[in-house]
Each structure stands twice: as structure tokens, then as C-alpha cells.
Chains A and B, each alone.
Chain A
């Protein structure tokens, strides 16, 4: 599924909304997540998963082709940890929960 298909599915389920509004809604949600992460916040969506930012310190890297050392600057990388409910759903455990 790509973003336009996601928008289409939401639009079909909400016929009273304009298609372009559904597109905006979907974009607002994902923009908000990226904004939060760039501020250093985390985003926790219970049952779905959590987005966090991990810090990678600067290090001496090596060009694998030439073997010369290169300085790799520190960086921040986004990380997603799958929520319990979604993890179970992927393995079809949802029906066996009591």
C-alpha cells in the first residue's frame, strides 16, 4: 500500500470528506510525527508502535574501496519499535487472546 492508496481507503470510509482534505489529514499526521522527532520528542502510539530518535556518535569510518579513513560526523537516526498489539497481529495471535 502506498500513500495514495491509504488516502483512497480513508476517503471511501468517509464519503462526507473531500478527497483533498483526506490527503491533508494524512499528511498532517505524518508531518506531526516528523516534527516531533526533529524537536527531540518521541511519539508513542499504543498498540501500533513508538518512534524515537537515536544518537550516533561521530566515528572514524573507512572507505571500503580504498581503505582510507574518513571522519563520519555524529548523526541522529529515527527508530521505530513495533507495538505489542501490532506484533501479535502480524503473527495472527489476535484471536487467541483471552
Chain B
């Protein structure tokens, strides 16, 4: 699928244009937002952002995996994984956007 890739810089640019803050401050704020979300998740607290979606944590137990190259069996340690559930608003906007193209 063709398309550009946006990065932190593009999000900061949107803050510059739409809120009118200086570029370096906008960059700091974008970073801060991502950091607050990461920090909350690292503490095991889910993050719910209305009209965007929610980030949740799921605990995975130990299971047996296999090294795909050697075929060797290796244990996969229990771990916490992040799951993102998009909101219906986000899903609708993405489907409408693609229908127009």
C-alpha cells in the first residue's frame, strides 16, 4: 500500500500549525504525551482515549516456542503485551477515508 510515513516531527508540526506553539515546545509536548502513555502502561494501568481508542495490557503465560531456523524448542517466558483497541469513531473515519480514494 503506497503512502507516506508520519513521525513525531509531523505530529509536532501539526501542534505548531493548529495551536501556534513554538516548534521545540511542540516537540517536547508530543514526547511528553507518548511518555505519559508509556509510563501508565508500564505501571499496568490501561489508557483510554475517547474517540481514539484504548491501550490495554494482557498477561501472557509461559509457553513452548520453537526457533524457526533450527527447529529447536525454547520456552517463551511469561510476559506482558500491549493491545490496542481502536474506537468505533477511529474505525469509521478510516473506512470513510479509504472509501473516498
Partner-B contacts on A (CB < 8 A): 1-3, 6, 9-10, 13-14, 21, 24-26, 28-34, 36-49, 53, 55, 75-80, 82, 86-87, 89-92
A29 touches B32 (CB 8 A): no
Number of CB contacts from chain A to chain B under 8 A: 154
Decide: A30 near B34, CB < 8 A? Known: A1-B45, A41-B3.
no
A45 touches B3 (CB 8 A): no
Partner of A25, one of B15, B51, B96: B15
A/B interface sample: 9 pairs, CB < 8 A: A6-B49, A10-B29, A10-B36, A25-B29, A45-B7, A53-B1, A77-B94, A78-B94, A89-B38
Instruction: Determine which residue in B15, B36, B53, B80 has the highest number of CB atoms from chain A within 10 A of its CB, and name it.
Output: B36
Known: A10-B29, A42-B4, A86-B38. 11 other contacts (CB 8 A): A3-B48, A10-B32, A24-B19, A28-B14, A32-B6, A32-B14, A33-B52, A42-B5, A48-B38, A80-B55, A82-B81
For chain B, the bracket of interface size reads 35 or more
Partner-A contacts on B (CB < 8 A): 1-8, 10-11, 14-15, 18-19, 21, 26, 29-30, 32-34, 36-38, 40-42, 45-53, 55, 57, 79-82, 84, 86, 90-91, 93-98, 101
